[in-house]
């Protein structure tokens, strides 16, 4: 079936280091959405990418959608404690959202 693979499952970083999570789909996506779930919270929408090769920025967060619309990435520059949480991608394939398993960002003490 349709899958969206998201890696890594966890990423431990020192505060101030960068963080990246990647999503790869087995099928071409019409769009991809990104969500953030803080510990103890619920997923909150961050952004949607629609166009091939699209790049969008939100302050320290950079989102990319691949040329083939099968992969996407989220990059956070200079992580802060407020970035802690799990980041999910969700790809739209045939009008159904297919969710990645999430990448948990952990800041090392």
Partner 1 sequence: KAGVTQTPRYLIKTRGQQVTLSCSPISGHRSVSWYQQTPGQGLQFLFEYFSETQRNKGNFPGRFSGRQFSNSRSEMNVSTLELGDSALYLCASSRAGGRGTDTQYFGPGTRLTVL
Residue ranges in contact with partner 1 by CB under 8 A: 9, 30-31, 33, 35, 41-45, 48, 50, 88, 90-93, 95-97, 99-102
Q: How far apart are CA 67 and CA 4, in angstroms?
A: 16
Report the chain's terminal Cα–Cα distance, integer Å. 40
Min separation Cβ 70 and partner 1, Å: 15
Compute the least distance from the CB of residue 2 to partner 1, in Å: 11
Nearest partner of 63 among 106, 72, 71, 23, judged by Cα: 72
Closest CB to partner 1 among residues 42, 59: 42
User: Closest separation between CB of residue 7 and partner 1, Å?
Assistant: 12
Q: Give whichever of 42 and 108 is closer to partner 1, judged by the CB atom.
A: 42
* Nearest to 93, CA basis, from 46, 25, 38, 41: 25
| Cβ distance to partner 1 smaller for residue 83 or 100 | 100
> How far are the Cα atoms of 36, 84, 106 from residue 80, in angstroms, in the given order?
14, 8, 10
């Amino acid at each position: 079936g349709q899958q969206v693979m998201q890696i890594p499952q966890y990423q431990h970083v020192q505060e101030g280091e960068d963080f990246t999570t990647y999503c790869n789909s087995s099928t071409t996506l019409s769009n991809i959405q990104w969500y953030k779930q803080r510990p103890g919270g619920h997923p909150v929408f961050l952004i949607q990418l629609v166009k091939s090769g699209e790049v969008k920025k939100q302050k320290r967060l950079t989102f990319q959608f691949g040329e083939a619309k099968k992969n996407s990435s989220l990059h956070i520059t200079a992580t802060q404690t407020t970035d802690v949480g799990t980041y999910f991608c969700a790809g739209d394939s045939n009008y159904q959202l297919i969710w990645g398993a999430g990448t948990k960002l952990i800041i090392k003490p």
